[in-house]
Amino acid sequence: MTLAHAPYSRRGLLLLSGGALATLAGCSVTPRIVPVDGATDDTRGALPLVNALRAKHGLPPVAASSPTGRAAAEQAVRMARANQMSHLIGLGDDFGVRMKRNGVPLPAAENIASGQVDVTAAVQAWINSPKHLENMLGSYRMMGVAMARSPSTTRTYWAMVLSA
């Protein structure tokens, strides 16, 4: 089981995005996540776990959103296809550009993991990791979680995107 977190500060993300903040689009109580071929949307399974954690720390809940769900699904599929757990895959990859392309408002954070059997195990692995826990307890309002399997190894790749 492996984990990684996005090493981006709020200021760094704003700089990466050129300072332009994307608008929150398509947000509703039960958003319809635009499917990304090869990804499973696990946001509904992760929300109660993350919101219980946030409540224990006196923080407001996060809600599912289409932009964060799409961004998480895209990242999970990218990692699965590359069979590599990494925030940045390929030359010229850029976190801020990826978030903007998916309509994710900044600041944003990304947690990634690989090898967990289900969403509960992925969230628990992030809770057990100080940097991932910090992301989940950040000043975010929206969240999306997705999983994809490597076509060559069937290894699972997980992505969580949190957003303002």
Residue 156: CATH number of its domain? 3.40.33.10
> Does 147 fall in a domain?
yes
Q: Give a yes or no: residue 119 inside a domain.
A: yes
How many domains does one find in the chain?
1
> Domain for residue 4, yes or no?
no
Contacts of 4 (CB under 8 A, 6+ apart): 85, 86, 87, 111, 112, 113
Could you tell me if residue 24 is inside a domain?
A: no
Mean predicted confidence (pLDDT) in 22-41: 52
Angle at 83 between CA 111 and CA 70, to 5 degrees: 45
In a domain, 61, yes or no: yes
Single-letter amino acid code for the residue at 23? T
- The string of pLDDT tens digits covering residues 124-150 is 999 999 999 999 999 999 999 999 999
Q: Does the residue 109 lie in any domain?
A: yes
| CA 162/CA 50 separation, integer angstroms | 11
Q: Is residue 154 part of a domain?
A: yes
Q: What stretches of the chain show up as alpha helix (H) in DSSP? A: 10-16, 43-56, 66-82, 95-101, 119-127, 130-136
Domain span at 75: 39-163
For the chain, the maximum distance between any two Cα atoms, rounded to a whole number of angstroms, is 43
Predicted confidence (pLDDT) per residue in 57-72, tens digit = 999 999 999 999 999 9
Within a domain: 64 = yes
